[in-house]
Chain A
Amino acid sequence: MTDRTPGPDPELALSVRDLKTYIYANNRCNRALDGVSFDIHRGKTLCIVGESGCGKSVTAASILQLLPELSRIEEGEIVYHGAEGPVNIERLKRNGRRMRAIRGKEIAMIFQDPMTALNPVYSIGFQIKEMLLYHTRLGKRARHAKAIDLLRSMGIPLPEKRVREYPHLYSGGMRQRAMIAIAMSCDPRILIADEPTTALDVTIQAQIFELMDTLKREQGTAIMLITHDMGVVAELADDVAVMYMGQIVEAGPVGQVLRNPLHPYTRALLESIPVLGRGKNQQIRAIPGQTPDPYDRPTGCQFAERCRYRVDACAEMPPETQVSSSHRVRCWRHREFMADAAE
């Protein structure tokens, strides 16, 4: 992680620099992403955590250029580091040939609701084979065999039979596995998962997590996982980026950020949820107020209104500061919090 050698890091899969994406629905301008930077590495999981409306899904949509019609990437860079050298995604045509070649083959995505993400009129096998048809040169037989292999490796029992079945015969957890099978069909370097288990039960969620961990370990897939659940972060992440109102307020390796949170929002998030095993007398502290109107954002620190540690300086936007080689935070008072933690 602390790579200081010049030249591109061979493990780097995607880097996003100062990305700004605005949404223009209803004749208003929503600055959904306001300067977001992060890297995704092969064989690592980056968790992006935040509440609804913080811009985490817009980040994923920007990377794949699957943004709504009335929106655009204003500034910044999204550089995909593929086998054929780096590509500036933000410069590609939204639905051009090169963008389509990257989608699915290089960067794949799975969605929150497996119930609607699969087309009910085609068999699961057909939907996997369609991906293989578009992105690979495999023959018909080879595609069928690969589809069965994929389902088997996703832990779906009786894949020879299941491959011919339609989505309604699959349960929720099985559908999410099938979605991952489709996403992984062309061995993408990056898998983006947008709240993949929010619609699933906890015991099924555990199965999907096991599967994603295996993909990361065995195939070296770079995973970007979007979630609102700090528990999921603790469970799966190598790196974590905490988002609030279109900005990353804190980012770093999961051990540093969770054990030693430096941004008041990260701390507040961790304190506001009951944690299993801490018993009935644990203190939870609600975050007062609510997220600001996206059309009427504060000019300074976005979290200031709700922050316990607010000072006058917070009326101005704090810069992103690198506190260690891998840990950065956007808060005027992070030095005090660091000193507190050191004691």
Chain B
Amino acid sequence: MSDVPLNPGDAVRSPPRPRTRRDAQFDRIRDREAARQGTKLRGGRFLSKFLNNRLAVVGLVIFASIILLSLAAPLIAQHDPKSPNLRAMLDPPSAEHWFGTDRTGRDIFARVLYGGRVSILVGLGSALLSALIGVVIGVYSGYVGGWLDWVAMRISEIFMSFPQIILVLLLVAILGQSLLNLIVIFTLTGWGGIYRMARARMLSIREEEYVQALRSFGLGPARIAYKHMLPNALGPIMVNITLSTAAFILQEAGLSFLGLGVPMSVPTWGNILNAAQDLRLLENAWWVWLPVGATISLFVLSVNFIGDGLRDATDPSQQG
């Protein structure tokens, strides 16, 4: 290891690298560290990562306010969402009717608020129910494997390969239009996705050594699967729930728009949109479709932001 001194001019002196914006950022971090040597970062990493994600926080605020407004609909709305007012048909937005009125003179603001209750119930309810079914089956069969896993897999494939629209037509034809039917249909067609995800997570967690250790203690499979393995699969499952909530709300709007969802008399976001199925209204009465359309988009967007935030916060490989 001889220490030959390097004469200046020995090396080809290319100019130093130009500074970039990143360099300034690095300098700030370095100076801050030098100033407060010895202090440690504390606090929940999960929470701070989530709160550092601006979009996720914005999403959470929008999500919470839409839900609160819908829940408090009777206190806020001055009009009954179902009673027509023939003297005020297709009124544009005014101080009396904030979002205007529809063709039968019903207050659209009130309908959007009350519609939110049904739509969010369908969306969140179906998502939670399908998650419950998918997780309960997926976690156990993924851990135990064998014939149980095979059977569950085939059943999920059958449900997932069924065209949803045919199931809907079938159920509507047999049972008629109702809120409950919609939730049942969404749950039946939706659990497969979460089941597969939960199962896949279990297959990889099953190989972890702490699971082997629990087995070597002779603990039962249900306890190992639900108590010890499930918490480690919860991150992606939560993300999936938020994303499918958004998807179900859009599907409800779509099916109601086609007249297959909730009965037209019940205000839902989809039914309100459905009322705008008319070129004349689309062109001349923007208030019939724009506010509700914007609300749906806003809600779905906020749920997606929350889902992304959750994913980033629970993924240890992503540095915040």
Q: Which positions in A face B, CB cutoff 8 Å?
A: 1-4, 8-9, 12, 15, 17, 22, 24-29, 37-39, 72, 77, 79, 85-88, 91-93, 239, 241, 251-253, 295-296, 299, 322, 325-328
Contacts and interface: CB of A to CB of B under 8 A. Distances in A.
A79 B10 contact: yes
Contacts of A25: 319
B23 A79 contact: no
Contacts of A86: 10-12
Residue in B3, B11, B12, B22 with the greatest tally of chain A CB atoms within 10 Å: B11
Contacts of A92: 14, 17
27 contacts: A1-B2, A3-B4, A4-B2, A8-B4, A9-B2, A17-B6, A24-B25, A24-B30, A25-B319, A28-B33, A29-B29, A29-B33, A38-B1, A39-B1, A39-B3, A72-B26, A77-B6, A85-B12, A86-B12, A88-B11, A88-B12, A88-B13, A91-B13, A251-B1, A295-B33, A295-B40, A296-B38
Nearest to B45: A26
B1 A15 contact: no
A31 B25 CA distance: 16
Contacts of B15: 91
Output the residue of B1, B6, B15, B33 with the most chain A CB within 10 A: B1
Contacts of B2: 1-4, 9, 39, 325-326
A173 to B, nearest CB: 25
B320 interface: yes
Interface string B103-121: 0000000000000000000
A24 B10 CA distance: 32
B41 interface: yes
A253 B2 CA distance: 10
Contact of A87 (B12, B22, B41): B12
B320 A26 contact: yes
Contacts of B17: 91-93
A9 B4 CA distance: 7
Interface residues of B, number: 27
Nearest to A251: B1
A306 to B, nearest CB: 19
A63 B275 CA distance: 67
Contact of A91 (B10, B16, B32): B16
A328 B2 CA distance: 10
Contacts of A2: 2
Closest 7 CB pairs of A and B: A86-B11, A29-B33, A88-B11, A3-B2, A29-B30, A91-B14, A326-B1
A90 B25 CA distance: 20
Contacts of B12: 85-88
A79 B11 contact: yes
A50 B10 CA distance: 32
Nearest to B13: A88
B83 interface: no
Contacts of B1: 1, 38-39, 239, 241, 251-253, 326-328
Contacts of A251: 1
A24 B26 contact: yes
Nearest to B15: A91
A123 B33 CA distance: 48
Given A25-B319, A326-B2, 7 more contacts: A28-B29, A77-B6, A91-B14, A91-B16, A295-B33, A295-B40, A326-B1
A144 B12 CA distance: 36
Contacts of B38: 296
B26 A15 contact: no
